[in-house]
């Protein structure tokens, strides 16, 4: 039975950064991931990471852009912390060896990004997330003595002690199928987002909202779950991401008539308005018949000099070539808005603490909230690193002052029974893949860029029915070694928990703010709705709704124009 | 949608049975990936098919397998193209990678081979002294240069395809050596010489690569591991005069010098000159060459006996007509200040090409 001061679940940027910070704080650390850490979805963050590091820039400017981007739903105290600490974090990464782009003087160079009033995005070509993730993993290997890595271990549930404090987690070793109870003084969830609820999505197959569901089931509060970002530039059908960096480098958007339509929607920032604005503009063009027959608009990257494309947008050249059969240096590529990111998540304070004592959350699974109703591009990597580090440091400090807790006993057996039941059940109901496909289609239809009450209620009914159906799924794989089939069944249940919360929040918020646009309530309603929607698991299994005020420090709500 | 037949090599470690083949018919659009085909089979027919996969966008590095015998990422190999390679009427053959033990079906033990080798090269930055207050000031080109090896997603395709590794399982291998170059080429790292010496002295180190190009061919991210290995070698010999275990550098130099002098290869001089710059006739041969020369005597005698070589041919080598043109090539290349590196990462574009496919007159960037 492994024991650690700090147990980190998830090994993307937030998890790895938390583990390193906790080790630096003197804690014994375990880090668990259901995939090898470098397979984590932080890899896919292409464009870069924001920081006001230039002397001419200021953290206040970065913070204001973030507040405005959030449509005034972000907590301004948390945003201030993130933007203040950003420059130091960039320098830290640079010192660890991240190969950030340099300017002609050999100093860190920047590119422009959406919703930002200055070019403050630091980057490594268009593989920024990958470059940082792999460098952090270098550090994880370096500190292998202090940080135990559990690679390809799947966490099924969180465990508390008799006083309701977190005490560890139940985890399955994917390689041999054994189930282990990990004991820990503090647990940090860094399990990423839940994009797989939607189909298509830019998110990887592993992004199934496991940690969000596990925290919810352990009594933690979820916040602003309705805030789902649709990224403006994804490939139709398969949902692959084309970085905002392409527009940052100067690429234009056109409708089928060849009009640069952003002139109508955001005359000042054009293609570099914030993501919710651009996605709505595109969807409006498509819905009103000005898109291409395949339900897309065109992204023209050919206006960017070719040498620059090869240097700065190399990944996109490959994506175009391999996945769309398009040479982006010579022709426009067809794109549409697609599911990308969840602004909401497990409610935390600025040190990553959740409502469950000893339980932390950081990164996409958490909601501090720095993104509010809409996340700015290149703020997600920053969020993972700043709040990953803060969670790790805080958890290490807390762990120092306490003894190892005693997990309440029954959790391990309960999880074993759940898994055994799935594996041994004969096939009577639907396949996991069928339920997942229906969920993905329903969510993308009714809970996307434009929403209304009627559609959302259709989605809620469907999700509730699918949750029932998911209780009787069976699997083909009856083995222990790499039984991915049974893990898929567990992930399906996590996804459906997430989906129910997303739709519940979307129904509840009867206004349009950030990524939530209600065609039946098209206006932002500052009188009633500058507040967070909190969800907890009720005794009857339904989400219970409450509210908390969004924190304001120095920026009063204004009309949002780009 | 077209139909495809996938023939997947299966292995269930719990059954006690050897590997076997399963065939699945799947309907997938031809431009979708082989991974999509495998996942369709898994979703609809047999949930027990084991394959690591996640991003489906060639960035997470999970799904390297062999498709029709060639190592590739399943997610960025179009199923229609895989069918074309397999030939009409034949199934698309899907197998786990080589050079690593199979855990189950298409899942191999990356830890036992790939990651062990990565650990071998001390895979973290070792800067000299305390970091500066701000960022390290380094040339922009150096960061672009090592971003080629930074682009590695650790998928292990090169490890699976490496022929040298097949012959010598202890070989540090293409991925780990490309990772090593990421530090050796990083101006912020302070251990360049130590790293190079270590990898040169290891009998399974950077001189174990046989230049077969397999890693370059299979790499899905154009990291070109072999090129990184060659850069390690050039830096070792040119910048630090580290002894090349196989004398390959001397061999290359002798080859180049002889071509410069004669225009064609003077084979009798190649071996002795590989060990030093002296002439065989004048007795200026390095001691290392003597052993090699003695070992190659039987070959020389066979050549003489069969009439392939005559003493006159061996000792006197004619110059190529128009040798001055060859000399000009040498002068042109050697007049350049910088060492020329073949970097596939940055594709040179011919200047002055038309830009802006949709935007007339729009040239802002």
Reading the block at residue A257, the tokens are: 């008539």
Dihedral in degrees, nearest 10, Cα atoms B223, B221, A139, B146: 40
3-state secondary structure of A360: strand
C-beta separation of A137 from A147 below 8 A: no
**pLDDT value at position B123?**
98
CB contact under 8 A, A175 and B119: no
**pLDDT value at position B313?**
72
**pLDDT value at position B340?**
60
* Number of C-beta neighbours around residue B318 at 10 A: 11
**Which of B119, B139, B365 is facing A250, going by the closest CB pair?**
B365
**Which of B42, B53, B356 is facing A303, going by the closest CB pair?**
B356
**pLDDT value at position B349?**
43
Angle at A243 between CA A318 and CA A125, to 5 degrees: 65
| pLDDT tens per residue across span B310-362 | 777 777 788 888 888 888 888 888 887 766 655 544 444 444 444 444 443 33
Question: Is B190 a residue whose pLDDT tops 80?
Answer: yes
User: Which pLDDT band, with edges at 50, 70 and 90, does B365 fall under?
Assistant: very low
Residue A246 to residue A231: CA distance in whole angstroms: 13
CA A55 from chain center: how many Å? 30
**Which of A95, A102, A258 is facing B138, going by the closest CB pair?**
A102
Task: Give the relative orientation of helices A484-508 and A410-424 as an angle to the nearest 10 degrees.
Answer: 110
Burial of B27 (0-12, 13-18, 19+ CB in 10 A): exposed
Average pLDDT over residues B107-127: 98
CB contact under 8 A, A205 and B54: yes
Of B55, B48, B156, give the one whose Cα is nearest residue B101.
B156
Angle at A60 between CA A58 and CA A61, to 5 degrees: 70
Provide the pairing of β-strand A121-122 with A359-361: unpaired
Distances (CA, A) of A204 to A209, A515, B37, B176, B260: 11, 21, 17, 26, 55
B52 touches chain A (CB under 8 A): yes
Angle at B54 between CA B52 and CA B58, to 5 degrees: 100
- Region class of B247: left (phi > 0), else alpha (psi between -120 and 50), else beta: left
CB contact under 8 A, A241 and B57: yes
Question: Is B280 a residue whose pLDDT tops 90?
Answer: no
C-beta separation of B355 from A306 below 8 A: yes
CB contact under 8 A, A307 and B349: yes
3-state secondary structure of A324: helix
Residue A443 to residue A445: CA distance in whole angstroms: 5
Question: Is B277 a residue whose pLDDT tops 90?
Answer: no
**DSSP letters for A39-76:** GSGGGG--S-EE---STTS-HHHHHHHHHHHTTT-S-H
Q: Which residues contact B14 (CB under 8 A, 6 or more apart)?
A: A479, A480, A481
* Number of C-beta neighbours around residue B111 at 10 A: 16
Phi, psi angles (nearest 5°) of residue A223: -135, 140
Distances (CA, A) of B276 to B258, B266, B291, B300, B314: 13, 15, 14, 20, 19
Q: Please give the residue of chain B at the shortest CA–CA distance from A104.
A: B140
Provide the pairing of β-strand A3-9 with A29-33: parallel
Average pLDDT over residues B112-138: 97
**pLDDT value at position A545?**
98
Residue pointed to by tokens 């003894």: A403
Dihedral in degrees, nearest 10, Cα atoms A507, A513, A516, A518: 60
3-state secondary structure of B306: helix
CB contact under 8 A, B140 and A260: no
Distances (CA, A) of A521 to A337, B109, B128, B240: 21, 54, 60, 70
CA A149 from chain center: how many Å? 22
Question: Element (H or E) spanning A172, and its range?
Answer: strand A166-173
* d(CA A346, nearest CA chain B) in Å: 23
Of A498, A54, A114, A73, give the one whose Cα is nearest residue A274.
A114
- Looking at residue A511, what DSSP letter applies? S
| pLDDT tens per residue across span B80-111 | 999 999 999 999 999 999 999 999 999 999 99
**pLDDT value at position B285?**
57
Reading the block at residue A465, the tokens are: 């029915």
| pLDDT tens per residue across span B5-51 | 999 999 999 999 999 999 999 999 998 999 999 999 999 999 999 99
C-beta separation of A60 from A258 below 8 A: no
User: Which pLDDT band, with edges at 50, 70 and 90, does B65 fall under?
Assistant: very high
Burial of B251 (0-12, 13-18, 19+ CB in 10 A): middle
C-beta separation of A384 from A375 below 8 A: no
Question: Is B243 a residue whose pLDDT tops 60?
Answer: yes
3-state secondary structure of A97: coil
CA A284 from chain center: how many Å? 25
CB contact under 8 A, A252 and B359: yes
C-beta separation of A123 from A111 below 8 A: yes
- Looking at residue A457, what DSSP letter applies? H
Of A365, A368, A375, give the one whose Cα is nearest residue A347.
A368
Q: Write out chain B residues lying below 8 Å of A138, CB-based.
A: 123-125
Q: Write out chain A residues lying below 8 Å of B365, CB-based.
A: 249-250, 303-305, 308
User: Which pLDDT band, with edges at 50, 70 and 90, does B281 fall under?
Assistant: low
- What value of ipTM does the predicted structure carry? 0.96
Question: Element (H or E) spanning B251, and its range?
Answer: helix B248-262
**Which of B47, B54, B143 is facing A477, going by the closest CB pair?**
B47
Q: Write out chain A residues lying below 8 Å of B192, CB-based.
A: none
Residue B257 to residue B264: CA distance in whole angstroms: 10
Burial of B79 (0-12, 13-18, 19+ CB in 10 A): buried
CB contact under 8 A, A303 and B362: yes
* Number of C-beta neighbours around residue B148 at 10 A: 27
Residue A117 to residue A95: CA distance in whole angstroms: 27
**pLDDT value at position A236?**
86
The sign of the CA dihedral A112, A114, A118, A121 is negative
Residue B229 to residue B10: CA distance in whole angstroms: 34
What residues of A are annotated to the active site? Answer: 275
Residues of chain A short of pLDDT 50, as ranges, are none
C-beta separation of B100 from B112 below 8 A: yes
Q: Write out chain B residues lying below 8 Å of A236, CB-based.
A: none
Question: Element (H or E) spanning A423, and its range?
Answer: helix A410-424
Of B287, B311, B288, B291, give the one whose Cα is nearest residue B301.
B311
**HEC readout, A283-313:** HHHHHCCCCECCCEEEEECCCCCHHHHHHHC
3-state helix, strand, coil in chain A (%, to 5): 40, 20, 40
Reading the block at residue B278, the tokens are: 């002296």
- Region class of B236: left (phi > 0), else alpha (psi between -120 and 50), else beta: alpha
């Amino acid at each position: 039975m492994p024991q650690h001061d700090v147990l980190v679940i998830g090994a993307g940027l937030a998890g790895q950064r938390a583990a390193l910070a906790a080790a630096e704080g003197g804690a014994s650390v375990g880090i668990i991931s259901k995939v090898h850490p470098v397979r984590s979805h932080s890899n896919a963050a292409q464009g870069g990471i924001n920081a006001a590091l230039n002397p001419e820039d200021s953290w206040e400017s970065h913070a204001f852009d973030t507040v405005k981007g959030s449509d005034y739903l972000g907590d301004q105290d948390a945003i201030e912390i993130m933007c203040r600490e950003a420059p130091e974090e960039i320098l830290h990464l640079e010192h660890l060896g991240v190969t950030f782009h340099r300017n002609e003087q050999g100093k860190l160079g920047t590119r422009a990004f959406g919703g930002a009033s200055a070019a403050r995005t630091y980057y490594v070509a268009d593989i920024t997330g990958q470059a940082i993730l792999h460098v952090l993993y270098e550090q994880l290997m370096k500190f292998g003595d202090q940080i135990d890595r559990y690679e390809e271990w799947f966490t099924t549930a969180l465990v508390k002690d008799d006083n309701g404090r977190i005490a560890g987690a139940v985890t399955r070793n994917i390689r041999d199928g054994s189930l282990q109870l990990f004991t820990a003084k503090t647990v940090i969830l860094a399990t990423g987002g839940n994009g797989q609820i939607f189909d298509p999505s830019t998110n990887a197959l592993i992004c199934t909202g496991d940690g969000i569901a596990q925290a919810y089931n352990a009594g933690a509060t979820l916040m602003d779950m309705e805030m789902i970002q649709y990224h403006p530039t994804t490939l139709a059908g398969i949902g692959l991401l084309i970085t905002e960096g392409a527009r940052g480098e100067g690429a234009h958007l056109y409708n089928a008539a060849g009009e640069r339509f952003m002139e109508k929607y955001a005359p000042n920032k054009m293609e570099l308005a914030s993501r919710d604005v651009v996605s709505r503009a595109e969807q409006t063009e498509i819905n009103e018949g000005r898109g291409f027959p395949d339900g897309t608009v065109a992204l023209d990257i050919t206006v960017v000099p070719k040498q620059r494309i090869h240097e700065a947008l190399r990944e996109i050249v490959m994506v175009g070539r391999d996945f769309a059969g398009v040479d982006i240096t010579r022709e426009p590529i067809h794109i549409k808005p697609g599911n990308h990111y969840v602004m909401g998540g497990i409610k935390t304070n600025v040190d990553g603490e959740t409502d469950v004592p000893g339980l932390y959350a950081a990164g996409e699974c958490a909601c501090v909230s720095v993104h509010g109703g809409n996340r700015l591009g290149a703020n997600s990597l920053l969020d993972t690193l700043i709040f990953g580090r803060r969670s790790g440091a805080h958890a290490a400090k807390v762990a120092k002052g306490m003894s190892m807790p005693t997990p309440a006993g029954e959790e391990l057996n309960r999880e074993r029974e759940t898994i055994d039941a799935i594996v041994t059940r004969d096939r009577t109901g639907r396949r996991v893949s069928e339920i997942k496909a229906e969920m993905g289609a329903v969510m993308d239809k009714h809970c996307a860029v434009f929403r209304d009450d009627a559609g959302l209620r259709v989605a809620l009914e469907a999700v509730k029915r699918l949750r029932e159906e998911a209780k009787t799924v069976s699997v083909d794989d009856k083995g222990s070694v790499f039984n991915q089939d049974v893990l898929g069944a567990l992930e399906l249940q996590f996804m459906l928990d997430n989906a129910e919360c997303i739709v519940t929040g979307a129904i509840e918020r009867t206004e349009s703010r950030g990524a939530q646009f209600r065609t039946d309530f098209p206006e932002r309603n500052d009188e009633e709705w500058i507040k967070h929607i909190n969800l907890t698991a009720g005794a009857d299994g339904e989400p219970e709704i409450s509210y908390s005020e969004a924190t304001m420090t120095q920026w009063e709500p204004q009309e949002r124009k780009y | 949608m077209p139909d495809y037949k996938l023939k997947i090599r299966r292995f269930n470690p719990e059954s006690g049975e050897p590997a076997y083949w399963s065939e699945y018919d799947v309907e997938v659009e031809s431009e979708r990936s082989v991974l999509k085909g495998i996942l369709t089979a898994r979703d609809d027919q047999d949930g027990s098919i084991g394959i690591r996969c996640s991003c489906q966008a060639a960035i997470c590095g999970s799904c390297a397998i062999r498709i029709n015998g060639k190592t590739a990422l399943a997610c960025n190999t179009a199923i229609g193209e895989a069918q074309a390679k397999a030939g009409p009427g034949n199934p698309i053959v899907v197998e786990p990678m080589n050079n690593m033990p199979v855990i189950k079906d298409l899942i191999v033990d990356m830890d036992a081979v790939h990651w062990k080798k990565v650990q071998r090269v001390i895979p973290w930055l070792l800067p000299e002294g305390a970091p500066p207050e701000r960022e390290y000031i380094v040339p922009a080109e150096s960061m672009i240069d090592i971003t080629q090896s930074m682009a590695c997603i650790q998928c292990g395709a090169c490890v699976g395809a490496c022929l040298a590794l097949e012959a010598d399982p202890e070989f540090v291998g293409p991925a780990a050596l490309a990772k090593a170059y990421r530090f050796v080429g990083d101006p912020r790292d302070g251990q360049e010489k130590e790293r190079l010496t270590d990898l040169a002295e290891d009998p399974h180190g950077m001189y174990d690569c046989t230049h077969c190009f397999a890693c370059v061919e299979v790499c899905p991210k154009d990291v070109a591991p072999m090129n990184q290995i060659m850069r390690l070698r050039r830096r070792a010999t040119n910048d630090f005069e580290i002894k090349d275990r196989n004398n390959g550098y001397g061999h290359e130099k002798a080859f180049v010098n002889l071509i410069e002098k004669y225009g064609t290869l003077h084979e009798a001089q190649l071996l002795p000159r590989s060990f030093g710059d002296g002439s065989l006739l004048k007795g200026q041969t390095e001691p290392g060459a003597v052993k090699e020369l003695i070992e190659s005597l039987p070959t020389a005698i066979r050549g003489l006996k069969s009439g392939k070589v005559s003493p006159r041919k061996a000792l006197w080598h004619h110059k190529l007509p128009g040798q001055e043109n060859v000399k000009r090539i040498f002068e042109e290349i050697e007049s350049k200040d910088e060492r020329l590196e073949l970097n596939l990462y940055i594709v040179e574009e011919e200047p002055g090409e038309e830009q802006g496919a949709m935007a007339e007159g729009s040239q802002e960037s």
